[in-house]
Amino acid sequence: MCSHQRSQGEDHLIQLDFWHSKIHEASATGQRILAIASRAIQIKQQILQSSDVEAGFTLLGLVGIIDPPREEAIAAIDKCHTAGIRVKMITGDHRITACAIGAKLGIGNGQNAVTGIELDKMDDAQLRKVVGEIDIFARASPEHKLRLVTALQQDGEIVAMTGDGVNDAPALKRADIGVAMGKNGTEVAKEAAEMVLMDDNFASITHAVEEGRTVYDNIRKTVVYILPTSGGMAGVLILAIILGMALPITPVQILWINMVTTVTLAISLAFERPESGVMSRPPHDPNAPILSGFLVWRIVFVALLMMGGVFTLYLWETVQGASIELARTVVVNVLVMCGIVYLFNCRYLMASVCSRRGLLDNHYVLLAVGLLLILQLLFTYLPVMQQLFGTTALDAAAWGRIIAVSLLLFLIIELEKYILRCRGVNNL
């Protein structure tokens, strides 16, 4: 649009090579460039036409604007890459500026970028190939953003799209997870998005991913904890019926176990903190079941171990001539104690819990265990509870056998985890 340039108050023919070199030099540092120009018109002219601003300008200079990336955003993008999350940048900036900013953020290799003009020349098949290889897209329009999101979804990707303007709304709506900026975002963008980022900080998205993975882990841990403890108890009853034996546990005692373990132990797993490697794992397959084959094996394995421990102690007490009330009291307490030690096993599905962090880090677990032990002592020794639940007091030898069986369960599960880790299985 410029035919001249102004230097020291005089107009000269424009030196395009000089100005283009300055543009590239500033863009390479991540600056966005604005050109300032003027054109003289007749004093009598009152209305501007499109033809008046197409050519004939005198270039006055260039202005570089820079908004350096936040340090926490750089660290967050690096954490995303570690977690198997690809981060792509779609911007309206110049290609060189986009590459420079991408290099600072750790997006792409800082060299390869595709512009909107190049995207217009691609059909859908070509676009799907390019979007899988390139992470920086410059001079992009709202239509380009929508096409890019669609192409990623067609490749089976789950796409989260961030944006703040009206022009971002179509892509935010199309994405699996639209994330709008809460501070500087427009109301249109917020309405089109599923989530609103209140601090406009990309690092918050990474924290949300970490929190989401932790919640998912805790759900699996709770399921893996509840099913074998309930299954072991049910298995004991079924086996006793098949063998024609007196029931090792009464219905009211079953109700007690389910009530106290659910209220105390199972709930405490919801407060588990993120495991150390939670952001080092690849993303989960969205079509995969919540329980893998290994976890199903763990559930069955633990249920069988509990059944074996319960029946061993029950038969031991009956062979020794103990009353049915005492044998049932032992059964209830061994089920509860096994539930306590297995709770610590479930804190980490694969990692060992034989450490200070693994045993003492979750104060909610310790509080739940302490509360449950008090309830079990009342259940065993309080006369009112003995009348309600048909229990009787236990001596130190009985408690020793109960604790031994419980610790054996704990050690077997930790040994199983150790064997799996040695075989290279790091995630269930």
| The pLDDT of residue 82 | 92
pLDDT at 404 over 90: yes
Cβ(290)–Cβ(220) under 8 Å? yes
Rounded to the nearest integer, the mean pLDDT of the chain is 91
| The pLDDT of residue 372 | 93
Least confident of 119-123, 208-212, 222-226, 288-292: 288-292
Q: Do 2-65 and 71-205 agree at the fold level?
A: no
Question: Angle 324-347/396-422 helices, nearest 10 degrees?
Answer: 30
Alpha carbon distance 94, 75 (integer Å): 24
* 275 pLDDT tier (thresholds 50, 70, 90): confident
pLDDT at 72 over 70: yes
Alpha carbon distance 305, 299 (integer Å): 10
Least confident of 151-155, 280-284, 285-289, 423-427: 423-427
- 9-52: pLDDT as tens digits: 889 999 999 999 999 898 888 888 999 999 988 888 888 888 88
Structure tokens at 64: 């570089």
| The pLDDT of residue 310 | 93
Average confidence (pLDDT) over 393-408:
95
Please say whether the structural domain 2-65 has been given the CATH code 3.40.1110.10: yes
- Four-way CATH pick for 214-422: 1.20.1110.10, 3.40.640.10, 2.40.420.20, 3.40.50.720: 1.20.1110.10
pLDDT at 252 over 80: yes
* Residue with token string 């001249």: 4
CATH class name, domain 71-205: alpha beta
Task: Give long-range contacts, CB 8 A cutoff, 24+ apart: 122-131.
Answer: 124/151, 124/154, 127/151, 128/154, 128/155, 131/88, 131/155
Nearest to 226 by CA among 179, 267, 287, 174: 267
| The pLDDT of residue 293 | 86
Average confidence (pLDDT) over 99-122:
88
Average confidence (pLDDT) over 388-402:
94
Number of neighbours of residue 248 by Cβ within 10 angstroms: 26
Q: Which residues pair with 7 in a beta bridge?
A: 10
Cβ(32)–Cβ(64) under 8 Å? yes
pLDDT at 427 over 70: no
The DSSP 8-state label assigned to residue 182 in this structure reads S
Q: What is the percentage of the chain residues whose pLDDT exceeds 90?
A: 63
Strand residues in 130-282 grouped as ranges (E)? 136-138, 160-163, 177-181, 195-197
pLDDT at 270 over 80: yes
- 329-374: pLDDT as tens digits: 999 999 999 999 999 999 998 889 998 888 988 899 999 999 999 9
Structure tokens at 3: 């035919």
Cβ(57)–Cβ(11) under 8 Å? no
* 110 pLDDT tier (thresholds 50, 70, 90): low
Q: Which residues pair with 138 in a beta bridge?
A: 115
pLDDT at 113 over 70: yes
The residue extents of the domains of the chain are 2-65, 71-205, 214-422
With a CB cutoff of 8 Å and minimum separation 6, the contacts of 319 are none
| The pLDDT of residue 111 | 73
